[in-house]
Amino acid sequence: MQDLNKLQKAFNEKFTDTGLAKGTFSAPGRVNLIGEHTDYNEGFVLPIAIEKKIIMLGQLRRDRLVQIFDLGYKVEAKFSLDNLSPYKKDTWVNYLMGAMDEMQKAGYPLQGANLIFISDIPKGAGLSSSAALEVVTALTMAKLNSLEIEPAKMARLCQQAENNFVGVACGIMDQYVSCLGRKNYALFIDCRSNNYELIPFKNYNYQIVICNSRIQRGLVDSEYNRRREECKIAAEFFTHRLGSKIRALRDVTIEEFKRYEEHLPETIARRARHVISENYRVQTGAQALREGNFSAFGQLMIESHRSLKDDYQVSCAELDLLVDLALKQQGVLGARMTGAGFGGCTVNLIEKNYINCFKKNIKNEYKKNTGINPDIYITLPAEGAKVLEFMK
């Protein structure tokens, strides 16, 4: 509520009322419980939307101009919908501009708007603040322009914005869960068909706790794109050996992998082993969650981390430290890095009674080893992007 009042006040100071459609919208960040680097291999993921979000207040204009104010960082931008191309400086604008460009390219007619937003999702922490910004922009522009866009379609447009405007060849997971997350549910997504299943996650003795290493690696984008390339090479190898039934690494079984493993260059074999085994872990994990078998789920999280560290090689010393420390604490069922890697956060599954103790110990130990104060967030699965208020 406080944020809403702040936004409204700043909006009135910055912009003059156009008398046109006006509304406030929000989109959450996410944490992935399991299924890392599987989405762009047409595999499975199991994220939740988190209680941290971006709120955007917008009003339609009579012309084709877009004016944006980021209330958190106190920066602004102005551009025309007739002239959209990525910024080299002020790259934060690309998330918004990219979403608008993809909407227009998909044939949705847009009019200009005045926009202001505020975020409590930490930036560069692997909790998808960028996807949230794309999604909240797309939702705001859609509603102000009276366009009905299905959430899965909106997610796809936002993913394309990131691919084409920001230059990261990301998969669909982040934008999808930011659009379709549901309070008290984890979202099991098949990234080939885009079908999803909501798996209940509430009223249990366990809670999701996120630890932010506060490490940000510049490498993440280039390494991410390189992993994607390596997976493509692996998939092509298996198509060559096993025929056209292999369209992506998603189609290769663990047995098939083992049969051909020695013919692959070592790095490519490692990448493929991670993706193929991770897909199996997500499906097994989804079943464990359906049955409320949290200890089985926790075990899979631990295996996932090992695979990301040793085979996919996207972890870093600080994330490994957070996982090692977590696994020494009482009441912890599972811990792993989450998101693209090279810094950012870990996700932990913990018995509720032990959370305070966990927080205290992790803060002390991580600080002692690295000199950094980690941030720790406790979250339940939250609601996806939504309209907070809207006046036509």
Reduced to 3 states (helix: H, G, I; strand: E, B; else coil), residue 89 is coil
Only segment of 63-71, 74-82, 87-95, 168-176 that touches ligand GLA (CB under 6 A): 168-176
- Does the protein bind ligand GLA through residue 171 (CB under 6 A)? yes
- Does the protein bind ligand GLA through residue 37 (CB under 6 A)? yes
In angstroms, the first-to-last Cα distance of the chain is: 21
Reduced to 3 states (helix: H, G, I; strand: E, B; else coil), residue 256 is helix
| Burial tier of 363 (Cβ tally within 10 Å: 0-12, 13-18, 19+) | middle
Return the number of the residue (339 or 381) whose C-beta is nearest ligand GLA. 339
| Strand partners for 185 | 182, 200
Position among 135, 158, 340, 385 found at the interface with ligand GLA (CB under 6 A):
340
Please, what is the angle between helix 173-180 and helix 151-161, to 10°? Answer: 140
What is the nearest approach in angstroms of ligand GLA to the Cβ of residue 339?
5
- Does the protein bind ligand GLA through residue 11 (CB under 6 A)? no
Position among 170, 177, 231, 275 found at the interface with ligand GLA (CB under 6 A):
170
How is residue 392 written in tokens?
Answer: 């036509």
Alpha helices in 150-214 (DSSP H): 151-161, 173-180
Position among 43, 112, 339, 374 found at the interface with ligand GLA (CB under 6 A):
339
How far is the C-alpha of 278 from the C-alpha of 285, rounded, in Å? 10
What is the nearest approach in angstroms of ligand GLA to the Cβ of residue 82?
29
How far is the C-alpha of 233 from the C-alpha of 277, rounded, in Å? 17
Please, what is the angle between helix 129-144 and helix 151-161, to 10°? Answer: 120
39-68: contacts with ligand GLA (CB under 6 A): 39-40
Tell me how long the chain is.
392
- Does the protein bind ligand GLA through residue 174 (CB under 6 A)? yes
Return the number of the residue (112 or 122) whose C-beta is nearest ligand GLA. 122
Only segment of 82-90, 170-178, 209-217, 290-298 that touches ligand GLA (CB under 6 A): 170-178
- Does the protein bind ligand GLA through residue 191 (CB under 6 A)? no
- Does the protein bind ligand GLA through residue 173 (CB under 6 A)? yes
Position among 36, 251, 303, 318 found at the interface with ligand GLA (CB under 6 A):
36
CB 353 within 8 A of CB 206: no
HEC letters along 289-317: HHCCCHHHHHHHHHHHHHHHHHCCCCCCH
How far is the C-alpha of 303 from the C-alpha of 282, rounded, in Å? 11
What is the nearest approach in angstroms of ligand GLA to the Cβ of residue 200?
23
Active-site annotation holder among 3, 39, 101, 174: 174
Return the number of the residue (170 or 264) whose C-beta is nearest ligand GLA. 170
Number of residues in contact with ligand GLA under rule CB under 6 A: 10
How far is the C-alpha of 126 from the C-alpha of 345, rounded, in Å? 6
CB 29 within 8 A of CB 356: no
| Contacts of residue 226, Cβ cutoff 8 Å, sequence gap at least 6 | none
| Contacts of residue 335, Cβ cutoff 8 Å, sequence gap at least 6 | 301, 302, 305, 322, 323, 326, 327, 346, 347, 348, 349
CB 101 within 8 A of CB 165: yes
174 is catalytic: yes
- Does the protein bind ligand GLA through residue 250 (CB under 6 A)? no
Catalytic residue set:
174
Contacting residues toward ligand GLA, per CB under 6 A: 36-37, 39-40, 170-171, 173-174, 339-340
